[in-house]
Structure 1
Amino acid sequence: MTPTSAAGIHLDDLPGHYIRRLQQIAVAIFMQETASWSVTPVQFAALQTVANSPGIDQRTLARRIGFDTSTIAGVIDRLEARGLMSRGPSPDDRRVRLLTLTDAGRQLLHEVVPSMLKTQQRILEPLPPAERDEFVRMLRVLVDANNELSRAPSDA
């Protein structure tokens, strides 16, 4: 029976509670595994996306990683201050800044990828190997189906 008042609700029955907790755990594992490089999960996502699409603009980067455009500017500021990413003018629109990785950014990404992959393994480790791909598939279904409800929908 579904409870109709707050008194009958248990956090253990709420998928949102577990999703929030898993996100906290995923970030904690990522930070442990990548501590030597002082990079956050969002910074990694930005670096990897720019590496995959050199010359991408800030707005498109934000949409690809599901981040709001005002906050991604601060992420890029920090990466640029560390000498990992650079912004250059667009030949088509002076208002648009195009993003590229610096040599240092490419090197950091190359170094951090094994730790990032270990993070993914650690997150999924409690599941039987045969269920890991299915779990990730189901996560994609939930995220894709609810993407438009996000404060920063992804277009990836």
Structure 2
Amino acid sequence: MELQSLDIHSMPGHLIRRLNQISVARFMEQVASAELSLTPVQYAALCAIRDNPGIDQASAAGLIAYDRATLGKVIDRLDARGLVLRKVSKSDRRARELFLSEDGEKLLTIAHPQVEAAQPEILSGLSPEEQEQLVHLIKKVIRAGNELSRAPHRDLSKAAE
């Protein structure tokens, strides 16, 4: 039986992986240009904590669609760098509430313009209209497949209902 040749360069999974590589590279270059040490997941975690002071680690993981174990290691590193604070929850002594430290706030303030500047570069081969359309379509695909992910996105407002 002869194996059929697959053109991986036309397969959505391969193309999405390549786009992710490009996205991470642009993020890292832009952040490094400001002499910052920050990964995309660290940035996402810091933003989730900033926007939801006192959030627990599991909820933060759901907000940024990361598995709890991986995010736990990310939070450990951010804590070791003095960027986040962990406080014992008053309602559940086993849980830890997460807050940004002053240094975490400062880092996000410096990083935000760098991250914003990287975004158009990620889709630089497209016109502004095409970029908007692609982002819309990516969101649509992600919504349709969210529950298939090992780490689905969780909206805190829906979890509270």
1:39-90 CA distance string (max 9 Å, x none): 0000000001111111100000001101111111110010011110011011
Give me the TM-score of the superposition, normalised by structure 2.
Answer: 0.91
SS in 2 for 1:32: helix
What is aligned with 1:153? Answer: 152
1:137 aligns with 2:140: no
Q: CA 1:104–1:134 in structure 2 vs 1: closer, same or farther (change >3 Å)?
A: same
1:92-111 equivalences in 2 (<5 Å): 92-111=91-110
C-alpha separation in 2, matches of 1:76 and 1:13:
37
Which AA in structure 1 matches 2:61? A
Give me the TM-score of the superposition, normalised by structure 1.
Answer: 0.94
1:39 aligns with 2:38: yes
Which AA in structure 1 matches 2:19? L
C-alpha separation in 2, matches of 1:64 and 1:142:
18
Structure 1 stretches lacking a partner, 5+ long? none
C-alpha separation in 2, matches of 1:41 and 1:31:
8
SS in 1 for 2:4: helix
Q: Percent identity?
A: 44
Deviation, structure 1 residue 8 = 3.1
C-alpha separation in 2, matches of 1:51 and 1:128:
32
Deviation, structure 1 residue 132 = 1.3
C-alpha separation in 2, matches of 1:130 and 1:27:
23
What is aligned with 2:124? Answer: 125
SS in 2 for 1:34: helix
SS in 2 for 1:86: strand
Between Structure 1 and Structure 2, how many residues are aligned? 152
C-alpha separation in 2, matches of 1:154 and 1:130:
27
**Structure 1 stretches of 4+ moved >3 Å:** none
CA RMSD of aligned residues (A): 1.1
1:1-156 equivalences in 2 (<5 Å): 6-35=3-32, 36-156=35-155
C-alpha separation in 2, matches of 1:38 and 1:70:
22
